[in-house]
Amino acid sequence: MSNNSLCVVGLGYIGLPTATMFAKHGFNVLGVDINENAVNLLNKGEIHIEEVGLGELTKKVVEAGNLRAATAPSFADTFIIAVPTPHHADGSANLDYVVSATRSILPFLKEDNLVIIESTIPPRTIDDVVAPILAEAGWNVGENVFLAHCPERVLPGRILIELVENTRIVGGINPLSAQKAAEVYRTFVTGEILETTAVSAEMSKLMENTYRDVNIALANELAKISERLGVNALEVIQLANHHPRVNLHLPGPGVGGHCLAVDPYFIIEKAPEQAVLISDARRINNSMPEFVVNQLEKVLSSETSKVAVLGLTYKGNIDDVRESPAMDIVQLLQQKSYNLSFHDPHVRQEQVPFTLSSFEEAVEGAECVLILTDHNEFKSLNEEAIVNTMVNPIVFDTRNCTSIENNAIKYFNYSNLFEMNKTLQEA
């Protein structure tokens, strides 16, 4: 075993790119996952997720012998845990995967090993959950085994770039643990590495995403107010953002993904009476799928109209449907009698419980095209197919991402929601 061996537990959207990046920079990396398909694919130099440049890089490091996969850990110098942290029905964190992953490495720990938790976790999880597990196994945490929290802060579609270039926060159970973890990341991170305590690292990660969630909630609330008052919300945002200290976000169908839609709850669960603004923002953003469906109903001619749903992922140009508001909207529509068709060029059939169609099949005979994700493919639609196969065609663009030139198509986004009320009144 080399002195730079590394074991990454969890080969998802963060763990796999992280394992691949360390392998690229000379580490002998073992990737671990309970998903046998992911393990088998990786050992063949293939990947089970979509991320720009990841497939090519993974194939290269696997062929070089720097990365392999298994369903169980093995001995290493550094262990990185990058498993999911889903939430319970009340929004509180489900730490079962973190606990299980930590326990899975116990038989392979040896003196001077470093354990890094990359999973997003509530404040004090390192101190109150992970450290006690290591201590119960007989280790003096921070003395003969070192422990740190190093949260990821990358954007899907740019992960391989941002893993290298972004500032990295490294929070140790003690200063020596932080120092040792920082040394590991400095092997490839060119951004600044900030050493701090574990609890500060935990909270900073949560606040980064909570900041964005709160600001999106402000934009979504503006959209609701504008719809009521007959105001062009997008123009208001554009005008307000000319102020040198204002940067309003754009409204949308809700907030999704494994970070923004989840992380604020991890703060709320620890201080519910104090997290008033954070809780309100979550309620506003969670209300947007129902708001979208209510607006859609204003322009449909009957309860059995065909609606072509474009986009199922929580953001554009990725394949991730986790916590996607688009999926929430689909579920609300399925509770009604609408004839639904679905098209998403980035989603595989096995990811969703309904049949996917081509764009042409989806729009044929539809009354409305409902855009829920801002994929590049949707920024310019086949207007000829829409006009020729739809009757009185309508496009409702909840992502404000496309442009319509054909006057035969009624186009709605957050600039003219109030006109949907007029459509209802005219009907």
Say if residue 23 is in the same domain as residue 137.
yes
Say if residue 193 is in the same domain as residue 341.
no
Residue where a domain stops, chosen among 151, 171, 198: 198
How far apart CA 106 and CA 221 sit, in angstroms, is 48
Whether 258 is covered by a domain: the verdict is no
Give the H or E element holding residue 223: helix 198-229
pLDDT of residue 421: 77
pLDDT of residue 2: 43
Beginning with the edge strand found earlier in the chain, give each strand of the sheet holding 113-117 in spatial order: 67-70, 28-32, 5-9, 78-81, 113-117, 145-149, 168-172, 193-197
Residue where a domain stops, chosen among 198, 231, 251: 198
Count of residues in the chain: 427
Whether 244 is covered by a domain: the verdict is no
Whether 112 is covered by a domain: the verdict is yes
Say if residue 193 is in the same domain as residue 294.
no
Whether 224 is covered by a domain: the verdict is no
Whether 114 is covered by a domain: the verdict is yes
Sequence-ordered strand ranges (E) for 145-208: 145-149, 168-172, 193-197
Q: How many CA atoms lie within 13 A of 202 on its CB side?
A: 21
Domain count, the chain: 2
Q: Which residue's entry shows tokens 């537990």?
A: 9
Say if residue 38 is in the same domain as residue 185.
yes
Say if residue 62 is in the same domain as residue 173.
yes
Whether 295 is covered by a domain: the verdict is yes
Nearby residues of 243 by Cβ (< 8 Å), 6 or more positions away:
none
Whether 281 is covered by a domain: the verdict is no
pLDDT of residue 306: 97
CATH code, domain with 328: 3.40.50.720
pLDDT of residue 1: 34
How far apart CA 327 and CA 161 sit, in angstroms, is 29
Say if residue 167 is in the same domain as residue 294.
no
32: left (phi over 0), alpha (psi -120 to 50) or beta: beta
What is the domain range of residue 419? 287-426
Say if residue 193 is in the same domain as residue 291.
no
Whether 216 is covered by a domain: the verdict is no
Per-residue pLDDT of the chain (427 residues; tens, 9 = 90+): 345 999 999 999 999 999 999 999 999 999 999 999 999 999 999 999 989 999 999 999 999 999 999 999 999 999 999 999 988 988 899 999 999 999 999 999 999 999 999 999 999 999 999 999 999 999 999 999 999 999 988 988 899 999 999 999 999 999 999 999 999 999 999 999 999 999 999 999 999 999 999 999 999 999 999 999 999 999 999 999 999 999 999 999 999 987 889 999 999 999 999 999 999 999 999 999 999 999 999 999 999 999 999 999 999 999 999 899 999 999 999 999 999 999 999 999 999 999 999 999 999 999 999 999 999 999 999 999 999 999 889 999 999 999 999 999 999 999 999 998 776 556 5
User: Which residues are catalytic, by number?
Assistant: 205, 259
Say if residue 156 is in the same domain as residue 305.
no
Residue where a domain stops, chosen among 150, 178, 198: 198
Tokens at residue 270, please? 């620890």
